[in-house]
Chain A
């Protein structure tokens, strides 16, 4: 039972990270109709910059904090160099050009940092030592840092909701998503709005990467896995819907973690141990996609269809 609780918390924390990346992806798609494969690159860069600056400054937290403006600047640069020229192009061109950006940035990462995983400082100043834990229920100790991530994952979506639903900038973003021509006609510089949304999304992804750096290996290609799961999140949640992305991200995170831990054990009830382990592992890695297929079969537009209907 406590095992299930730990896996559920791990799943929640993974889901939260997925949301931070997926939110930016979904915003960018919702407002600009741009499918940006290179969004995972921002996540990867966030982790790398946080790791390197953390070692330089001697504090993980300082590194993570500094990673955000760096991710923001890289996002702005890429928008100016490449993405700006893709807004009016079809999805095929967008997919390919952003794919080219991934190849380039990942290769540059490999050239700069090497292919080996990076060392990351342990986040200091938490209860029970750097990587220590707190007792959440009797006899069960859970790492404090992972709880911090879950906490951040509750605060950021709330902030995001407030920003999008209750501020003037958020109103423009929502209007830009559904009626870009009208917003432009009313005197809003839609280009600048696009740039701001894009940079904001890049920063969120970089932040997620920085948060993830102490618990996942920081290596080239780390962005791809997250990117593809984020696509699953967006497809399940409904394109352009922040609320849908949040619920779907938690769902995907939980399914993935709990499935990986539980399926081999569950299958042992009907299969012999070695084949149960193999089929369990195979099924667990497919589980997310099977659920996605099932949801799409009944609701082709996702759970919370919203924003641009395309």
Chain B
């Protein structure tokens, strides 16, 4: 196995499993809608991972971009427009515009300030959507129909929708990796590792970070537009700050080092939430401590877990100890 293949093996395996899932007994409506939600949240998580792992920007307001994408779909629906060629680009553009404006302010700060400010802006978006009384206010808005493409309602087919989400997720993942490997991505990583040195070499981190922030916002908008179609219902809860926290959890559970980890993280969390909420009413009493424990004991996420396990076994095995002695 070559090194780059091994690096992406886990994410690739997850994507393949998602492609095979409808034909392995997960083809019913319930399973497909669950997987669609996981893939869409995974897309948003991958874009957030690009910011967190790539640029070192911990945003606690990423759900806002998703919410703005979803609310764009809803606003067009209320106006009687449901053509995908209009709605989807508009959703992406709206989320990117939000990211541009809030990013321009937030990126002037760093560290904890950045976390707090992205959270505050996310909250601002949340309150703004709750005050749209023509779009249902706090109660949310039920879509009249899913988005059409050139007048045909292809998204209504669950299997088509499944593979559309999967294709876009794969595209975002490949695109993100290409971006991180490019010159642009290397500047981002350099500015994360050592801002002073990046500056000394002649790179202003600010414009690079802003572009990355806008790109992540655009992907968030795309995910939001898909999510509105998947659930056919949008409410301000989509923009709540706990949603942003969940996206961050997906990123760190998957492993910050690789953006592909976010896909695995999203899948794990959506499935965990679903099964826990079936088992008990107060399922967060288990979910919350699990989150804390995973942060304390899995610093490299699920992607890093096999490596840690292998290291621990090697350290504990008597053969190794003899070799050392």
Contact = CB atoms under 8 A, between A and B. Distances in A.
A198 B128 CA distance: 34
B291 A100 contact: yes
Interface in A80-106: 82, 85-86, 89, 91-93, 95-97, 99-106
Given A103-B288, A231-B120, A296-B108, A282 B128 contact: yes
B282 A297 contact: no
A289 B132 CA distance: 18
A293 B242 CA distance: 22
Nearest to A112: B282
A101 B282 CA distance: 14
Contacts of A293: 102, 105, 121
A266 interface: no
A9 B34 CA distance: 50
Interface residues of B, number: 45
B11 interface: no
Interface stretch (B24-32, B82-90, B109-117, B163-171): B109-117
Contact of B284 (A93, A104, A239): A104
Interface in B161-194: none
A35 B108 contact: no
A97 B109 contact: no
A235 B285 contact: no
Interface residues of A, number: 46
Contacts of A105: 288
Q: Which of A85, A231, A281, A290 has the most C-beta atoms of chain B within 10 angstroms of its own C-beta?
A: A231
B248 A95 contact: yes
Interface string A14-43: 000000000000000100000101000000
A235 to B, nearest CB: 5
B256 A239 contact: no
A234 interface: yes
Given A292-B117, A296-B109, A99 B249 contact: yes
Nearest to B114: A91
B111 A289 contact: no
A276 B291 CA distance: 44
Contact of B128 (A107, A110, A234, A286): A286
Interface of B: prevailing SS: helix
Nearest to A107: B284
B311 interface: no
Q: Which of A35, A92, A107, A110 has the most C-beta atoms of chain B within 10 angstroms of its own C-beta?
A: A92
Interface in B229-280: 241-242, 245, 248-249, 252, 256
Interface stretch (B15-23, B292-300, B313-321): B292-300
Contacts of B111: 91, 310
B105 A234 contact: no
Interface string A204-217: 00000000000000
B60 A224 contact: no
A286 B127 contact: yes
A228 B123 contact: yes
B128 A82 contact: no
B212 interface: no
A104 B288 contact: yes
A234 B248 contact: no
A234 B288 contact: no
Contacts of B76: none
Interface of A: prevailing SS: helix
Nearest to B289: A104
Interface string B297-315: 0010000000000000000
Contact of A99 (B113, B116, B130, B291): B291
Given A97-B295, A103-B291, A110 B115 contact: no
B58 interface: yes
B287 interface: yes
B52 interface: yes
A278 interface: yes
Contacts of B119: 228, 231
A278 B134 CA distance: 10
Contact of A93 (B121, B123, B295): B295
B109 A300 contact: yes
Interface in A176-227: 224
Nearest to B283: A107
A235 B105 CA distance: 13
A116 interface: no
B196 interface: no
Nearest to A293: B105
Contact of B112 (A35, A285, A286): A35
B296 A97 contact: yes
A111 interface: yes
Contacts of A29: 112
Interface in B89-111: 102, 105, 108-109, 111
Given A282-B128, A286-B127, A92 B58 contact: yes
Contacts of A154: none
B124 interface: yes
10 contacts: A82-B292, A89-B295, A91-B115, A92-B58, A228-B241, A278-B133, A282-B132, A293-B102, A297-B108, A300-B109
Given A35-B115, A286-B128, A289-B120, 20 more contacts: A29-B112, A35-B112, A85-B296, A89-B299, A92-B248, A92-B252, A93-B295, A95-B245, A96-B295, A99-B242, A100-B249, A100-B295, A104-B285, A107-B283, A108-B282, A228-B119, A239-B113, A282-B132, A285-B131, A289-B121
Interface of B: 52, 58, 60, 102, 105, 108-109, 111-113, 115-117, 119-121, 123-124, 127-128, 130-133, 241-242, 245, 248-249, 252, 256, 281-285, 287-292, 295-296, 299
